[in-house]
Structure 1
Amino acid sequence: MRQWTKRQWAAAAGGTAAALVVLGVPTVLIPNGLFAREIEPTWWSYPVWALAAVLSGLLLATYVRTGPAPRDDTRPDRRGLGGTLLTWFAIGCPVCNKLVLLAVGASGALNWFAPLQPLLALAGLALLALALRARLRTAASCEVRPRVESR
């Protein structure tokens, strides 16, 4: 990351801000009139939210092109998407999430799902960190050089 361009750092900052909003509004960590929350957020929801947003922003910046188009495959790492989804489930209200309510009901959401949310948070952050690490390692090991045309 020491060799990142201003464009990559701008993408990281913009991606972090976008992730803060995308994760914070539906989970009501950012108070808003669109969504309501039945149960107050836990103390650890805020650091998980911030860390997930920073990791997501940094991961986004690894996809910013800094030179000629690479010839290798640059598909997004699915661990990043999985990590973001897991952290969203982890910081959300257990009884406000329609998917959880459909799967386990209201009592299951409180008795079964809520205690698992810290584990989901750790798993989500770990997946985001692994995705970022993988992207940074491949960027450092595979320098992209322009293709030389032979005549």
Structure 2
Amino acid sequence: MSLSRKTVVKGATVSIGSFLLFGIVTGLLPNPLYVRMVPRTLFDYIFLVVTSLFAGAYVAQQPTTNRSNDDRLAFSSVIAGFLAFGCPICNVFLLALFSNSVLMTYFDPYRPVLGAVSVVLFAGLLYYRQRYDCQSCA
């Protein structure tokens, strides 16, 4: 699939925007607005970068006329990635459902696994779209 300059710019904008937005909201990029309660790890930064890059690549692959039904899987992958690098006890939604001790005991150790699942889903989606969906484009 050949990408036009417009789609590459759109994908790069989404990658940079999601990196900045998610980085600031989760406290991975230090800022005065948010203080992260859980220490930052290398996995947090890896999943932030990979999720941002995959989101940009997905947007760059989007057809302009016929939108596909892959948006749900892409959205789920972004949410799983966000939960993987986000602070588990700072997430208001998770904290409302579970207590602080439950999140740190049962959810925090599995955040790298959740991030790996997110990366595999996104990579599979992008591979499938590149390999199979685009044959009709050619």
Cα displacement string for residues 24-73 of structure 1 (whole angstroms, at most 9, x for unaligned residues): 111111122222211121221111111111111000111153xxx44xx5
8 A Cα contact 1:15 1:56, kept in partner: yes
Report the alpha carbon displacement of residue 131 of structure 1 after superposing the two structures with TM.
2.1
Q: Which among 113, 120, 138 is matched to residue 119 of structure 1?
A: 113
TM-score by length of 2: 0.89
**Unaligned segments of structure 2, at least 5 residues:** none
Question: For residue 100 of structure 1, what is the aligned residue in structure 2?
Answer: 94
Cα displacement string for residues 59-94 of structure 1 (whole angstroms, at most 9, x for unaligned residues): 0111153xxx44xx5344311110100010110112
Matched, 1:24 2:23: yes
Cα displacement string for residues 91-123 of structure 1 (whole angstroms, at most 9, x for unaligned residues): 011211122222220111111110010111011
Question: For residue 132 of structure 1, what is the aligned residue in structure 2?
Answer: 126
CA distance in 1, matches of 2:13, 2:118: 21
**Unaligned segments of structure 1, at least 5 residues:** 145-151
TM-score by length of 1: 0.82
- 4+ residue runs over 6 A deviation: none
Paired letter, 1:121: G
Percent same amino acid among aligned pairs? Answer: 23
Question: For residue 54 of structure 2, what is the aligned residue in structure 1?
Answer: 55
Greater fraction helix: 2
Report the alpha carbon displacement of residue 127 of structure 1 after superposing the two structures with TM.
1.6
CA distance in 1, matches of 2:133, 2:7: 13
CA distance in 2, matches of 1:43, 1:64: 34
Matched, 1:84 2:84: no
